[in-house]
Amino acid sequence: MPEAMIEQLVAGQPRWSRDDVAALLALPFPDLMFRAMSVHRAHFNPVEVQISTLLSIKTGGCPEDCGYCPQAASYETGTAASKLMAVEAVLAEARAAKAKGAQRFCMGAAWRSPKDHDLENVCSMIEGVKSLGLETCVTLGMLTAPQTARLKEAGLDYYNHNLDTSPEYYGKVITTRTYQDRLDTLANVRDAGIHVCCGGIVGMGEDESDRAGLIATLASLPTPPESVPINALVAVAGTPLANAAPIDPIDFVRTIAVARITMPTSYVRLSAGREAMSDEAQALCFLAGANSIFHGDKLLTTKNATVSHDDALFAKLGLRAQGH
C-alpha cells in the first residue's frame, strides 16, 4: 500500500473522496456497469437477493420536520397517528412475513427518539421476532449509548438510521436535527456491536454532487454500513417534497452501481420507490449490484411493489430469495 494512503488511513481521512465518487457516477454507463458487476460477483452470488419486510409499529404524529416524510405531524398528509402496536400483533405480522419468504423483519417507529418505557416494549418485540427465526432490525430515531446497549442485550441484529443526503443538502430537507446528530447515533449503534443499516433518499431535488457526497460519507464511515438502503423518494401529497421531479431511472441505476463499487461487501438495498419503477429499471439495479429489497405490499405508510409482482419479476430474472 502506498505510504500516502497509509498516512490517510491512520489520519482517519476519507477513503472515498466526493471527487472520486463523482468521477464514478460520471463514467460511461457500460464502464460503470462492468465495474459494478465485477465487484458484485467478487463478493456475492448475483442471483441471490436478501429479503426484508417492513412494519410500522408506531405511525405518524412525529415532531420532526423531514421534508419527505408523510409521518411528520406538521404536514397534512392524511396519515392517521397511532400508538405503539401491541407485541402480539407485531408477532402475528412477523409470522406472516416469514411465511412469505422474509429473512429479516424491520420495525419502524415515527419517533424523534424512543422513551425508555417504549424501548422496553420494542425489546420484547425484538425478542419475540428473533424467536421466530427471523433477523431483527428497528428504526426508532436518535439513540443514546445506554439505549443501544439495551437493544443489543435484547438481541437486535440491525439498526436503521439514514444519513438521507449529502451534508450540504441536508439542511434543505430537515431542520429539527443535524447531520452530526445522525452520525452520533450511528457511532452509538456501531459501538454497541449492532450491525448498521444506513443509506439515503434520491430524487429530493439534489444534484449529482449531493449524491456523490452521500455515498462518499457512507463509504468513509469508520466501518461502512453492512446494509445500505437506497430509496427513491415516494413523493407524498402534503409534504414539502410532494412536487419534486422524479429521478431519471438511469441516474438511479448509476447511484446503485456506485454504492456497490464503494461498499463492496455491503448489502445494497433497492428500497422505497420500487412501486413506481419499471421491471427494466429494477433489472438494471440488480445487475448494478442491488442485492436486497423490501418485500411486502406496504412499506411503512405507502405502497410497495406487490408480493405477486415481485414473485413474477424474480421468476423472469432468475433471481432467488437468499436462504431459499
Question: What residues line the site for ligand SF4 (CB under 6 A)?
Answer: 62, 64, 66, 69, 71-72, 110, 112, 141
Which sign does the torsion angle of CA 209, 213, 219, 225 carry?
negative
Question: Does residue 108 belong to the site contacting ligand DTB (CB under 6 A)?
Answer: yes
Tell me, yes or no, if 285 is annotated catalytic.
no
Which sign does the torsion angle of CA 65, 136, 44, 297 carry?
negative
- Residue 31 grid coordinates: 464502464
Tell me, yes or no, if 106 is annotated catalytic.
yes
Tell me how far apart the alpha carbons of residues 24 and 26 are, in angstroms, rounded to a whole number. Answer: 5
Of 136-155, binders to ligand DTB (CB under 6 A) are 139
Tell me, yes or no, if 198 is annotated catalytic.
no
Question: Does residue 264 belong to the site contacting ligand DTB (CB under 6 A)?
Answer: no
- Minimum CB distance to ligand SAM, residue 69 (Å): 4
Q: Which one of ligand SF4, ligand DTB, ligand SAM, none is in contact with 164 (Cβ closer than 5 to 8 A by kind)?
A: ligand SAM
Tell me how far apart the alpha carbons of residues 286 and 292 are, in angstroms, rounded to a whole number. Answer: 9
* Stretch binding ligand DTB (CB under 6 A), from 9-17, 166-174, 208-216, 229-237: 229-237
Of 273-292, binders to ligand DTB (CB under 6 A) are none
For ligand SAM (CB under 6 A), the number of binding residues is 19
Question: Does residue 75 belong to the site contacting ligand SAM (CB under 6 A)?
Answer: no
Tell me, yes or no, if 62 is annotated catalytic.
yes
Asked if residue 301 lies in contact with residue 70, where contact means CB atoms within 8 angstroms, the answer is yes
Instruction: Return the HEC string of the chain.
Output: CCHHHHHHHHCCCCCCCHHHHHHHHCCCHHHHHHHHHHHHHHHCCCCEEEEEEEEEEECCCECCCCCCCCCECCCCCCCCCCCCCCHHHHHHHHHHHHHCCCCEEEEEECCCCCCHHHHHHHHHHHHHHHHCCCEEEEECCCCCHHHHHHHHHCCCCEEECCCECCHHHHCCCCCCCCHHHHHHHHHHHHHCCCEEECCEEECCCCCHHHHHHHHHHHHCCCCCCCEEEEEECCCCCCCCCCCCCCCCHHHHHHHHHHHHHHCCCCEEEECCCHHHCCHHHHHHHHHHCCCEEECCCECCCCECCCHHHHHHHHHHHCCEECCC
Q: Which is nearer to ligand SAM, 33 or 217 (CB)?
A: 217
Question: Does residue 300 belong to the site contacting ligand SAM (CB under 6 A)?
Answer: yes
Out of 18, 106, 198, 254, which one is annotated catalytic?
106
Of 160-179, binders to ligand SAM (CB under 6 A) are 161-162, 164
Q: Which is nearer to ligand SF4, 101 or 167 (CB)?
A: 167
Q: Which one of ligand SF4, ligand DTB, ligand SAM, none is in contact with 72 (Cβ closer than 5 to 8 A by kind)?
A: ligand SF4
- Minimum CB distance to ligand DTB, residue 315 (Å): 25
Among 16, 68, 105, 159, binds ligand SAM (CB under 6 A): 68
Q: Which one of ligand SF4, ligand DTB, ligand SAM, none is in contact with 60 (Cβ closer than 5 to 8 A by kind)?
A: none
Asked if residue 198 lies in contact with residue 228, where contact means CB atoms within 8 angstroms, the answer is yes
Among 85, 110, 202, 214, binds ligand SAM (CB under 6 A): 110
Tell me, yes or no, if 123 is annotated catalytic.
no
**Footprint on this chain of ligand SAM (rule: CB under 6 A):** 62, 68-69, 71, 108, 110-111, 139, 141, 161-162, 164, 201, 231, 233-234, 236, 272, 300
**Footprint on this chain of ligand DTB (rule: CB under 6 A):** 54, 70, 108, 139, 160, 162, 199, 229, 231, 234, 271-272, 299-302
- Give the catalytic positions in this structure: 62, 66, 69, 106, 137, 197, 269
